[in-house]
Amino acid sequence: MKYFLPALALSLLCVSCANTASDSKEIAKQKITNQDTAPGSLPRNIIMVIGDGMGPAYTSAYRYFSDNPDTSEIEETVFDRHLVGSSSTYPARVSGYITDSAASATALATGVKTYNNAVGIDVSKKEVQTVLEWAKLQGKKTGVVVTSQINHATPASYLAHNEHRYNYNEIADSYIDNGIKADLYFGGGWKYFIRDDRNLVNEFKQAGFHYIDDYAGLSNIPPEKPVLGLFANSGLPWALDDVNNNQLTTMTKAALTKLESEQGFFLLVEGSKVDWAGHSNDIAAAMAEMDDLAKTVEYLETYVAKHPDTLVVITADHSTGGLALGKWTGYSDKKVKSKYLWQPQFIRKMNMSPEAISKKIASEVLSIDEISALLTFDITPEEYTLLNNAKLESKIAESNYNKLPRSARTLKYPPKGYTLILKSIKKIIDKKTNTGWGSISSSASHNPVDVQVFSFGSKSDIFRGFQDNTDIAKKIFTLLGKQSSTVK
């Protein structure tokens, strides 16, 4: 069924200019008339936010994870405040019903369905224009802020055109060879941009870019230069482990300051590692990544309050892992009058990722109390034994693998001294929180479920209701002044 764009004079949610999340949550509930009321006027700034892998179960889980248990109310989150619709995510027919990040990001960036693994091309491998490229042609500043490497599937789908997402070096090279398309790049990627065969960082510098490789540099960016910021070898550390637990928020704040201009800007922001946590079946890491993403969106509320000619659109490319809140049924907690439980209190205080904790257990001799302190909840003697056995088995597996001839070492992810410890820690956390995952594979799969769409600011109402992921790109193209896109 076909629909046409409604009139572009719509209302927005106005939020306080206060920088605190509490003020933002209170004032954001108040609706006022859109300041940008000129007939046919378009947003000056567009911010596209993608929670990679962030299906509906993740935003629900985050609501309960961030809930204040000392109140009778379940507090709403920033996602609850701005839910406007939903989106289908399926790829081109040749790839079936379940998308990968590349095909979905290409749909969100171009309005065109493609096959899984494709970046910025259609099923015929023909390049298709992205909303970021079009915005640049209109004189707007452009940028990408991600917690993966900046040549990963999602940012690459906005910046590049390649037949396979895993051609990481080719994609990185194209950021120079095919013309520089952004004024700002923040994320990871040293291994792809500083290589033996080519140093792309130096090439960006020669093109006039300012380069930074630590978060401290975000506060001292020259106003007259475009900027490349790479902060890790590939993806950034887990939010739980990083020197800055709100890495995405910090990068986004710096990006907005840098990109502000009379012509406006288009900015892609991705919470990349929600998906990575889903693949790893790691609910603790997932909630920390969701918290960073939520705080980023809360900051965007305050930004839109000050810049009402800005549009923010938030969605996911797909859902990952078949996350289930409440795996086992039974009266396992006598304090709770229900046989249906999900217990996020066990992970609310964690300040290290399960991966970091497993590495520490692998390298040190720790008592049951010391491991409990690392996890921030008490483990049982049986769980302590489980971890010690996993430690021994991990070391044996790593040793046996390393003894194999190089030609026989074919595993994509070779065993490491902490591998089985990590698996056991996640099993313990899942049992205590009552979390389930819907995949039996070692790397939990994507799901074909529809994802949520959130939006606020100038012209945000056009994203209301059900739509396909390609429609999101088509609507953004229209808001960028490109009239040839047909909106479903």
| pLDDT confidence of residue 269 | 98
Dump the DSSP string for 76-126: --HHHHTEEEEEE----GGGTT---HHHHHHHHHHS----TT-BSB-TT--
Would the CA dihedral through 171, 172, 178, 180 be positive or negative? positive
How many angstroms separate the Cα of 248 from the Cα of each of 48, 63, 173, 218?
Answer: 14, 19, 25, 12
Query: What's the token pair of residue 201?
Result: 């960082």
Question: Structure pTM?
Answer: 0.90
Q: What CATH code would you report for 324-436?
A: 1.10.60.40
Question: Which residues of the chain carry a pLDDT beneath 70?
Answer: 1-40, 331-333, 439-444, 484-488
Query: What's the token pair of residue 40?
Result: 């046919």
| pLDDT confidence of residue 440 | 56
The alpha-helical segments, DSSP class H, found in 307-367 are 354-363
Burial label, 458 (beta-carbon count in 10 A; 0-12, 13-18, 19+) = buried
Kindly report, as residue ranges, where domains of CATH 3.40.720.10 are found in the chain: 12-321+445-479
Kindly report, as residue ranges, where domains of CATH 1.10.60.40 are found in the chain: 324-436
170-188 pLDDT per residue, tens: 999 999 999 999 999 999 9
Report which of 13, 51, 46, 26 is spatially closest to residue 291, judged by C-alpha positions.
51
Q: Is 245:239 a contact under the CB 8 Å cutoff?
A: yes
**Which DSSP category does 317 fall into?**
S
Q: Is 235:148 a contact under the CB 8 Å cutoff?
A: yes
| pLDDT confidence of residue 443 | 59
- The two beta strands, 31-32 and 12-13, are antiparallel
* CA–CA dist 43, 363 (Å, integer): 53
Tallying the residues shown for the chain, one arrives at 488
CA dihedral 325, 329, 333, 339 (to 10 degrees): 100
CA dihedral 459, 465, 466, 469 (to 10 degrees): 20
| pLDDT confidence of residue 483 | 76
* Exposure letters 2-19 (e unless 16+ CB within 10 A, then b): eeeeeebbbebbbbbeee
Number of helices (H), then strands (E), belonging to the chain: the values are: 17, 16
| pLDDT confidence of residue 324 | 94
The SS3 of residue 286 is: helix
The separation between the first and the last C-alpha atoms of the chain, rounded to the nearest angstrom, is: 7
| pLDDT confidence of residue 10 | 33
* CA–CA dist 131, 266 (Å, integer): 8
> Which entry of 101, 272, 319, 358 is annotated as an active-site residue?
101
| pLDDT confidence of residue 411 | 86
Dump the DSSP string for 38-53: STT---SEEEEEEETT
- 157 carries an active-site annotation: no
| pLDDT confidence of residue 192 | 98
| pLDDT confidence of residue 40 | 59
Please tell me the class of the 12-321+445-479 domain: alpha beta
